[in-house]
Chain A
Amino acid sequence: MTYFIKSYGFIIVLLPLLGAVVNGFFGKRLRERFGGTASGYIASAMVFLSFLLSTAAFIVVAGSHGAAIVNHAYTWMSLGTLQVEIAFLFDPLSAMMLLIITGIGFLIHVYSTAYMHGDQGISRYFAYLNLFVFSMLILVLAENALLMFVGWEGVGLCSYLLIGFWFQEKQNTTAANKAFIVNRVGDFGFIAGLFLLYWFLAKAAGPSAGTSILSFSYLAEHAHLLKDATIFGASLATVICLALFLGATGKSAQIPLYVWLPDAMAGPTPVSALIHAATMVTAGVYMVGRLNFLFSMSHTAMAVIAVTGAGTALLAATMGCLQNDIKKVLAYSTVSQLGYMFLAMGVGAWSAGLFHVMTHAFFKACLFLGAGSVILGMHHEQDIRKMGGLRKHMPRTFATFALATAAIMGMPPLSGFFSKDEILWQAWSGEHGHPGLWFAGFLTAGITAFYMARLLFLTFFGETRRDAHHNHHDDHGEHAHDRVISESPAAITVPLIILAGFSAAAGLVGVPAALGGSNRIAEFLAPVLGHHGTAGTHDPIEYVLMAASVCAALAGGGLAYLFYLARPDIPVMLAERLGPVHRLVYNKYYIDEIYGALFVTGTKILSRVLALFDRHVIDLLVNVSGLALRTQARIAGWFDQAYVDGAVNLVADSTLSFGEQVRKLQTGRVQVYVLVLVCMVALGIVIRLMTV
């Protein structure tokens, strides 16, 4: 089996591409021949096959005790010191990601067959979705950083295509553009960091031709060369890491580039679950983890990452508290949770961060899919103020959603508890940790519990507000039974149940030593990420912190219960009391508006100005020189007529007048001619005689 992965590992990647090609180019014919469901089945089947092979790869990797397996496909570029392979790397880190992507990916494909049922563009949808899985697999399996960038941009493309999937709504396409362009800012950082790294290593490491400098194994081996290198007076390692991290802030929606993710909710809900919660947005965390040897070269970069992560976690959590769109709440929650992961990366708790990537993938996918089920049940209503009481109508959706909510709140012994507490503990005690970082995380845990509980209560508890509201002005609308809220079909609830199961149980792979576990996931990932920070295994503070974060979660949840179930008048009153603050948070601190004015409008104005400059200044110079030339030509023309031509005419005129005069000799009388002849001959003789 090892041989199979080593030789044919690329098949895992190619299967979804095949699905995308089939659906993309033959989707219409498929639909005509086999009906609208065929697209979904093909796409799901491809991802499922990929999942089976991924499982095999995982088993192989797990059995190989950390030795990486590389499947070389072919050489992509080979030039001088540049050698880039198309090769896929199977090691514990990529194997774990592989299972998440294909596993959750498959469930979401199945879910989509029901969710997107009857949509006009269903083949296009599944083509994009398959293409996404393909790109994401390239991203995590890439053996070198440039190939990783291919996946990195590929997922960005698919995200763009899927956010703008319903492209007839202008708003959706604007959100898609925003996502891609904001990500491009990050990509610029990624590229700059990568090329600086290449530039330095090509110089410092003195590679022989045909060395794949950008391959992760080469980078890991030579990263130490960066130790004392500087560029423009700054540490080169710091510059490179910060540039790469800029890339991560784009893809993983961190400050300052998080603004695209909430808007990305314009896409179909399963897309939000797969791309904007479970997989793509964690790519930045994965990249930092993959290049951990590089990031650990720079304390400054690590500190920036940790602070950015903690700051994003806190900021986004506060924004999530006042959102009324069910998907927006989850979007800010995702931003916040990603902040957690970066907090972990920043304090050097690599495996804790990636552990949270995994648990978050399960519970956030479950939450998003649950939200999708709710939206379907509510006939495309997304405003939680108009929901309520859904637990009676959608029991399965409710149960799974509640379980996932408890998981994200960090309730023991659900998955979120273990991964979050690992992060908080490392933020406190880790090598790069700081109590301030822990406190931000702790606070975030409380706020997270608050807004998630709020979401749960407003959606599933109390009375169904929409019905009352609806009946009120629906006397000439549809029949009542069209509007019945009912549980979603099995294709939707079964994935929900599976994901809820994992949300509950996945944490068990990372039970810390303090609770009698052995943190198996950290053990498993150690060949890639190294062993770290498990020194104080029986530090009593760890228990205190654990208890504190659970209390924070309970307090947050309790507050939400008070506000939104027991005393709904309190939040209304508070909103009035805290008018300006409430408005500030409600409008997400006006950051979108500030960015819009600063960057979008700024760039547009700059481009207009330059275009005008081009048309009116540079072209003016051209036209002026043209004019100058024409003026000169006119002067020359005048000169030509007056003098040159004058001279010519003078010659002609004088010739003419000379002729006029000479003509008079032509009298026609022979005597005169003879006379002239004789005179001439005589003159000739005289001259001849005189010259002798």
Chain B
Amino acid sequence: MTEFIHNHILTLITFLPLLGGAVVLLIPRDRKDAIRRTALVFTLIPLLLAGMLFAGFNTSSSGFTTEAGIQFVEKHAWIRDFNINYFVGVDGLSIPMILLCALICPLCILASWNIEKGVKGYHFLFLLLETGMMGVFVALDFFLFFIFWEVMLLPMYFLIGIWGGPRKEYAAIKFFIYTLVGSVLMLLVIIYAYLVSTPHTFDLTELARNSSVLGYRAILWWGLFIGFAIKVPLFPFHTWLPDAHVEAPTAISVVLAGILLKMGTYGILRINFSLLPDVTRSMATVMAVIGTINIIYGALCAMAQKDLKKLVAYSSISHMGYVMLGMASFTDEGLNGAVLQMFNHGVVTAMLFLLVGVVYDRAHHREIEGFGGLASVTPNYAFVTFLAFFAALGLPGLNSFISEALVLLGAFKTHTVLAVIAATGVIITAAYCLWTLQRVFLGAVNQKYALLPDLTGREIASLAPLAVLVVVLGVFPHPVLNLMKSTLGSLNALVVAAL
């Protein structure tokens, strides 16, 4: 049994949610709690398995450009005629993302407990979505990667389009089409890469090792980059994000910001960096400039928002800018900082969206100006929100500080001026975070909400793990840093050596 689990752990993590989805479909639609519990169980098992993965992961693994660098590999022929394989494995780049995904999904199920409309469909789609997301992070076959990438898109479309807010159709279609444009660009590159490789292969490790066969490199790079940039989202491809977030139900916003955005930067690291290291290296300044724009522009836009959820959405854009800036520095500090920031931002933004959901459930609106004095009414809620916002503004001692500091340390080495500009972001971020906290929580109690109930047990259960991580990883970041260190070191070396 343990042998079996160990040999197929990635497959189990990826497909157990799908199995859960099938089980959900078998439950009668009016037994809502049974559906919810089933979904919870089928997201908790992957979390458990991810914990085993974490425990069994060899942190000295050097990453996927060498055969030995990948762990927990499963490789089976899938479509033999086209040399398409079911090829999954993890390295230091993907394992933090898998952990993040495995952690956030059960919390999202908890946060979806009060969804009453179409419970069955919702949970089925959610579980399908988790399979898609996990698949993207474990796939090492380009074709398989693409399949999972598309699998993830579809449930997302329906989850926003059916369970969303007033403008859900607009938001869902915008999201869908935008992402699809990216997918098409990626597909073209995939087909091209397949055709020029001899023997024809979709194997990402293989392609990375023989990346010199690829021609039209700059075009390929941009094709992939734009596809992924849409997902991150990088300026100016970001406007789908605020719309999608505002309309999406809480849990879907959490997934969207917590995990989906990371796929963009994950894709750039996994594919642009390894297949086209020379182009990547030459695009350093472009990436750094875009990252800096994201940081400052996103923060300033966030400051002007009146809708709490939109504010958090723009803050995501700002924080993902750090990831980009760190990646563009081509230093150990910057690259590790970037991936750590992906993880940390996932944790913090998940918290923020959950917290927005909490107040929205109670007050049925999200106007920042419409609250006031909530700290007196709901002290526990205020405490957790303060924690999350202070993590977001990069308070030392909390997790985001470490990743942002690493990113800036790296960026100072290679893009000094941009790093200085980006560092001014800490001022703007502090300003909008504190201003928001003040308007929502401080001041005289708004009598309209004088009897607002504080956090429920279920809400605490969904927030507490994240809150603990925010503090623990701020004080002791090693567990996550160690996972990625050697893989990112070799990836960075690959890119640095390419030029």
B213 within 8 A of A: no
Selected contact of A149 from candidates B238, B301, B396, B485, CB within 8 Å: B396
CB-CB contacts of A28-52 with B at 8 A, as 1s and 0s?
A: 0000000000000000000000000
Once the chains bind, are A198 and B427 in contact (CB under 8 Å)? Answer: no
Min CB distance B316 to A, Å, is 14
B20 within 8 A of A: no
Q: Which chain A residues lie closer than 8 Å to B395 at the CB level?
A: 153-154, 157
A676 within 8 A of B: no
> How long is the Cα–Cα vector from A621 to B240 in the complex, in angstroms?
12
- Provided the pairs A607-B300, A614-B301 are in contact, do residues A199 and B442 lie with their beta carbons within 8 angstroms? no
Once the chains bind, are A167 and B443 in contact (CB under 8 Å)? Answer: yes
Q: Which chain B residues lie closer than 8 Å to A157 at the CB level?
A: 390, 395
CB-CB contacts of B362-381 with A at 8 A, as 1s and 0s?
A: 00000000000101100000
Q: Which of B118-126, B276-284, B405-413 contacts A (4 or more CB under 8 A)?
A: B405-413
> How long is the Cα–Cα vector from A168 to B375 in the complex, in angstroms?
9
Once the chains bind, are A79 and B426 in contact (CB under 8 Å)? Answer: no
B477 within 8 A of A: yes
- Provided the pairs A607-B300, A607-B304 are in contact, do residues A170 and B333 lie with their beta carbons within 8 angstroms? no
> How long is the Cα–Cα vector from A184 to B178 in the complex, in angstroms?
37
Q: Which chain A residues lie closer than 8 Å to B444 at the CB level?
A: 168-170
Once the chains bind, are A79 and B485 in contact (CB under 8 Å)? Answer: yes
Selected contact of A610 from candidates B300, B375, B397, CB within 8 Å: B300
Q: Which chain B residues lie closer than 8 Å to A622 at the CB level?
A: 174, 178, 239-240
Q: Which of B107-115, B199-207, B416-424 contacts A (4 or more CB under 8 A)?
A: B416-424
Min CB distance B339 to A, Å, is 11
Once the chains bind, are B239 and A614 in contact (CB under 8 Å)? Answer: yes
B402, B406, B438: residue with the most chain A Cβ atoms closer than 10 Å: B438
Min CB distance B179 to A, Å, is 13
- Provided the pairs A149-B396, A191-B423, A614-B301 are in contact, do residues A170 and B485 lie with their beta carbons within 8 angstroms? no
B349 within 8 A of A: no
Once the chains bind, are A168 and B376 in contact (CB under 8 Å)? Answer: yes
> How long is the Cα–Cα vector from A154 to B431 in the complex, in angstroms?
17
- Provided the pairs A77-B481, A168-B373, A188-B424 are in contact, do residues A611 and B239 lie with their beta carbons within 8 angstroms? no
A149, A176, A187, A622: residue with the most chain B Cβ atoms closer than 10 Å: A622
A3 within 8 A of B: no
Selected contact of B303 from candidates A202, A231, A603, A626, CB within 8 Å: A603
Once the chains bind, are A195 and B434 in contact (CB under 8 Å)? Answer: no
Once the chains bind, are A192 and B301 in contact (CB under 8 Å)? Answer: no
Q: Which chain B residues lie closer than 8 Å to A114 at the CB level?
A: none
Once the chains bind, are B406 and A608 in contact (CB under 8 Å)? Answer: no
Q: Which chain A residues lie closer than 8 Å to B426 at the CB level?
A: 184, 187-188, 191
* Residue in A closest to B242 when the chains form the complex, CB atoms: A614
* B interface, over-half SS: helix
Near A by CB (< 8 A), chain B positions 141-198 give: 174, 177-178
Q: Which chain A residues lie closer than 8 Å to B430 at the CB level?
A: 180-181, 184
Selected contact of A607 from candidates B239, B303, B478, CB within 8 Å: B303
Q: Which chain A residues lie closer than 8 Å to B434 at the CB level?
A: 160, 176-177, 180-181
Once the chains bind, are B416 and A199 in contact (CB under 8 Å)? Answer: yes
The number of chain A residues with a CB under 8 A from chain B is 56
Min CB distance A609 to B, Å, is 8
B78 within 8 A of A: no
Once the chains bind, are B409 and A82 in contact (CB under 8 Å)? Answer: yes
Once the chains bind, are B332 and A168 in contact (CB under 8 Å)? Answer: no
CB-CB contacts of B250-293 with A at 8 A, as 1s and 0s?
A: 00000000000000000000000000000000000000000000
Q: Which chain A residues lie closer than 8 Å to B481 at the CB level?
A: 77-79
A575 within 8 A of B: no
> How long is the Cα–Cα vector from A185 to B426 in the complex, in angstroms?
8
Min CB distance B334 to A, Å, is 10
A658 within 8 A of B: no
A476 within 8 A of B: no
Q: Which chain A residues lie closer than 8 Å to B438 at the CB level?
A: 170, 173-174, 176-177
CB-CB contacts of A13-38 with B at 8 A, as 1s and 0s?
A: 00000000000000000000000000
Once the chains bind, are B177 and A607 in contact (CB under 8 Å)? Answer: no
Once the chains bind, are A164 and B239 in contact (CB under 8 Å)? Answer: no
* Residue in B closest to A617 when the chains form the complex, CB atoms: B236
Once the chains bind, are A146 and B301 in contact (CB under 8 Å)? Answer: no
Once the chains bind, are A198 and B409 in contact (CB under 8 Å)? Answer: yes
B64 within 8 A of A: no
> How long is the Cα–Cα vector from A198 to B478 in the complex, in angstroms?
21
Q: Which chain B residues lie closer than 8 Å to A76 at the CB level?
A: 475-477
* Residue in A closest to B482 when the chains form the complex, CB atoms: A78
Selected contact of B396 from candidates A154, A169, A608, A626, CB within 8 Å: A154
Q: Which chain A residues lie closer than 8 Å to B177 at the CB level?
A: 626
Once the chains bind, are B412 and A195 in contact (CB under 8 Å)? Answer: yes
Q: Which chain A residues lie closer than 8 Å to B375 at the CB level?
A: 167
A663 within 8 A of B: no
Min CB distance B244 to A, Å, is 13
Selected contact of A202 from candidates B396, B397, B405, B413, CB within 8 Å: B413
> How long is the Cα–Cα vector from A195 to B415 in the complex, in angstroms?
12
* Residue in A closest to B304 when the chains form the complex, CB atoms: A611
A606 within 8 A of B: yes
A619 within 8 A of B: yes
Min CB distance B416 to A, Å, is 7
A150 within 8 A of B: yes
Once the chains bind, are A188 and B423 in contact (CB under 8 Å)? Answer: yes
Q: Which chain B residues lie closer than 8 Å to A160 at the CB level?
A: 434
> How long is the Cα–Cα vector from A5 to B321 in the complex, in angstroms?
43
> How long is the Cα–Cα vector from A185 to B425 in the complex, in angstroms?
10
A196 within 8 A of B: yes
Min CB distance B243 to A, Å, is 8
> How long is the Cα–Cα vector from A180 to B426 in the complex, in angstroms?
11
Selected contact of A146 from candidates B174, B405, B412, CB within 8 Å: B405
CB-CB contacts of B299-311 with A at 8 A, as 1s and 0s?
A: 0111111000000
Selected contact of B305 from candidates A146, A169, A231, A611, CB within 8 Å: A611
> How long is the Cα–Cα vector from A205 to B301 in the complex, in angstroms?
41
Q: Which chain B residues lie closer than 8 Å to A188 at the CB level?
A: 423-424, 426-427
A604 within 8 A of B: yes
Once the chains bind, are B443 and A195 in contact (CB under 8 Å)? Answer: no
Near B by CB (< 8 A), chain A positions 131-176 give: 146, 149-150, 152-154, 157, 160, 164, 167-170, 173-174, 176
B428 within 8 A of A: yes
> How long is the Cα–Cα vector from A187 to B402 in the complex, in angstroms?
15
A618 within 8 A of B: yes
Once the chains bind, are B397 and A150 in contact (CB under 8 Å)? Answer: yes
> How long is the Cα–Cα vector from A626 to B176 in the complex, in angstroms?
12
Once the chains bind, are A168 and B304 in contact (CB under 8 Å)? Answer: no
Q: Which chain B residues lie closer than 8 Å to A191 at the CB level?
A: 405, 408, 423, 426
> How long is the Cα–Cα vector from A659 to B318 in the complex, in angstroms?
69
- Provided the pairs A79-B481, A188-B423 are in contact, do residues A196 and B412 lie with their beta carbons within 8 angstroms? yes
- Provided the pairs A170-B444, A188-B423, A626-B177 are in contact, do residues A610 and B304 lie with their beta carbons within 8 angstroms? yes
> How long is the Cα–Cα vector from A606 to B177 in the complex, in angstroms?
31
Q: Which chain A residues lie closer than 8 Å to B405 at the CB level?
A: 146, 191
Min CB distance A201 to B, Å, is 11
> How long is the Cα–Cα vector from A622 to B395 in the complex, in angstroms?
36
Q: Which chain B residues lie closer than 8 Å to A606 at the CB level?
A: 300
A540 within 8 A of B: no
A80 within 8 A of B: yes
Q: Which chain B residues lie closer than 8 Å to A153 at the CB level?
A: 395-397, 401
> A79-B406, A184-B431, A615-B239 given. 9 additional CB < 8 A pairs?
A74-B476, A170-B438, A199-B409, A604-B304, A607-B428, A608-B304, A610-B300, A611-B300, A618-B238
Q: Could you jot down 11 A-B contacts, CB within 8 Å?
A: A75-B478, A154-B395, A176-B438, A177-B431, A191-B426, A199-B409, A203-B413, A231-B416, A610-B297, A618-B238, A622-B174
The 6 A-B pairs at the shortest CB distance, nearest first, are namely A80-B332, A611-B304, A607-B303, A150-B396, A173-B442, A607-B304
Q: Report which A residues bind B (CB closer than 8 A).
A: 74-82, 146, 149-150, 152-154, 157, 160, 164, 167-170, 173-174, 176-177, 180-181, 184-185, 187-188, 191-192, 195-196, 198-199, 202-203, 231, 603-604, 606-608, 610-612, 614-615, 618-619, 621-622, 626
